Each structure stands twice: as C-alpha cells, then as structure tokens.
Amino acid sequence: MKKRWAGMLIMMLAVGSGVQAFKGETDESILIVGAAASFNPVLDQLEAAFEAQYPQVDVRFHTGGSGMIARQVEAYAPIDVIMLASKKEADSLEEKGLIQMERADGFLTNRLVVIEPDRSKAHWPAVQKVVMGTPGAVPVGTYAEQVLESMKWDGIRIYAKDASSVLMWVSSGEADAGIVYKTDAMSSNDVRITHVFSSAVHDPIVYNAGIVTESLHPEADVFEAFLSSTEAMRIFERYGFQSGGEEK
C-alpha cells in the first residue's frame, strides 16, 4: 500500500531540542506509529482499516527493533504511538513517564516456531545450523536463545538482524532451520513450520501499545484503542497473532 516514513529516520537520530522542534512542526494530520518489525505483515491492513474510520488522519508507520524504537522515544523522537514486541521495554518507558498504556499487561501474544526450507533433508532438532535474531538486540532472538539454552542445543548459531533476514537464510537453504515468530513464518510461502515451542521454555511473548506522553496528536488515544478493537483483532489473528496479554 503506502508508506513507511523512511525519511523520518534521519530526524529520529537526533536528540534533545532539535527533535522536539521538529516534532512541533509536524503536520497534525500525520500520526506517527513506532511499530516492532514483527508487525510488518499487518500494517497496511491496519492502516487502511483505521483511515477508513478516521479519514482525517494520515497514519505513518516507522518500523524497527523494539529496543531501537524505545531508544528513540527516550530521545524524544517524533513518535505518537508505540507498538512493541518487548514488555520489558514498554514497562521501562512507562516507568520513566514516557508512555501511557491502556493495557499494561499487553494486547497480543505470539508463538515461537522453527522454520525449515520446503525441501529440507534434516529436521529439527537434528539440524547442524540454525539462524535466529541477535539476542539482546531483538526480542525474538532473546526468546530463541532461551529455548536453545533450555534444551542444551549445541549446533551452529547464525545471528541475523531481523526476521526478514532469518526468512531469507532459510528459504535460500543457507541455514538448515530458523527460529522466528509464528506470524513471521506465516508471511512467507518459501518456508514451512516444523515445530512450535512450548511457551513454558521462554519468557512470555507479549505485545504492548502505548501513547507517547509528549505526543500532542488528538487521535493518538483513538488509535491505541483501535488496536484492541474487534476489527483490528480480526486482522491480527489472520496473520497468526493471538489476542490477550501476560497471564497474572
């Protein structure tokens, strides 16, 4: 569909008064949403559904790692709403007074899966080489590392920057298997899911949304509420997300 606001990235690298000045000059019709990369498959449909209801709002998604987006919020980058795949990062931002969350326990969950090429000869866990996100840099990599440590898997680990890179490695046959979110696997026709990990062997995979405290956009709270609506949930579930948050 349209637009990921790539040009905004340069501005987001700035800190302090420069960013706040830029924020103040932003077109009020534009709602900037910092979204974790694992949301990529659903963003166009979310945008279309929301703008059909609120045509006066121009939603712009800026995607990246949850940690990167959190650092940008801390630097007062021009973001109105966040959608993160890391509850730890969301909780930290809220504790610092930088965001406000309607649902602190999260609004979506996901599953961690193994993917393999369509014509793989070896199957999990009897594989030699697995590609995964970088632990500490992206949440999916941290969850994958927890799983591998729990099962004492000692094969070769290849660290990729994001799920798209993992999918590329596996679909090309450069890796025997990859570990990604279920939603990432469902977005590709070139790989197949061969194993779904129990959620008991890694930290809860929880997605949080929140309004950036510095945002002055009048529809920021409306967009956050929309994410938990029946219409939005239908879109999320179509791509493998599950409604709900962290169990108490």
Residue at 66 is within a domain: yes
| CA neighbor of 140 nearest in space, from 111, 176, 116, 117 | 111
pLDDT for 15 equals: 39
CA distances to 3, 14, 157, 244 from 79, rounded to whole Å, are 16, 13, 35, 25
* Two tokens, residue 47: 């945008």
Q: Do 142 and 118 lie in a common domain? A: yes
Whether 152 and 118 share a structural domain: yes
Residues 115 and 183 in one domain: yes
Per the CB < 8 A criterion, the answer to whether 72 and 183 are in contact is no
Q: Are residues 104 and 137 in the same domain?
A: no
b/e per residue 30-63 (b: at least 16 CB within 10 A): ebbbbbbbbbbbbbebbbebbeeeeeebbbbbbb
- Specify if 16 maps to a domain: no
Whether 219 is in a domain gets the answer yes
For residues 157 and 142, membership in a common domain is answered with yes
Domain containing 209: what range? 30-108+205-243
Mean pLDDT of the chain: 87
Residue 25 confidence class, pLDDT cut points 50, 70, 90: very low
- Domain co-membership, 39 together with 97: yes
- Within-domain flag for 154: yes
Q: Are residues 187 and 124 in the same domain?
A: yes
As a whole number of angstroms, the distance between CA 109 and CA 132 comes to: 19
pTM across the whole model: 0.83
Same domain for 95 and 125, yes or no, is no
The predicted structure's pLDDT at residue 92? 97
Q: What is the pLDDT of residue 173?
A: 86
The residue among 28, 31, 24, 27 whose CA lies nearest residue 3 is 31
Pair of tokens at residue 245: 């948050």
Residues 51-110: tens digit of each pLDDT: 999 999 999 999 988 889 999 999 999 999 999 999 999 999 999 999 999 998 999 999
In a domain, 12, yes or no: no
Q: Give the integer Cα–Cα distance in Å for 23 and 16.
A: 11
Q: Is 194 within a domain? A: yes
Claim to verify: residue 89 and residue 212 sit in the same structural domain: yes
Q: Are residues 50 and 102 in the same domain?
A: yes
| Residue 112 phi, psi dihedral angles, 5° rounding | -100, 130
Q: How far is CA 136 from CA 7, 65, 131, 229, in A?
A: 27, 10, 15, 31
Is 213 within a domain? yes
Q: How far apart are CA 63 and CA 235, in angstroms?
A: 18
In the structure encoding, which two tokens stand for residue 177, read together? 């298997």
For residues 215 and 137, state if they share a domain: no
* 118: CATH: 3.40.190.10
Number of domains composing the chain? 2
- Give residue-wise pLDDT tens across range 200-225: 999 999 999 999 999 999 999 999 99
Give me 42's structure tokens: 């659903």
Task: Let me know whether 189 and 134 are in one domain.
Answer: yes
Residue 10 lies in a domain: no
Report the distance separating Cα 168 and Cα 201, nearest Å.
Answer: 26
Closest Cα partner for 188 from 162, 207, 173, 168? 168
Q: How confident is the model at residue 17 (pLDDT cuts 50, 70, 90)?
A: very low
Determine the pLDDT at residue 1. 46
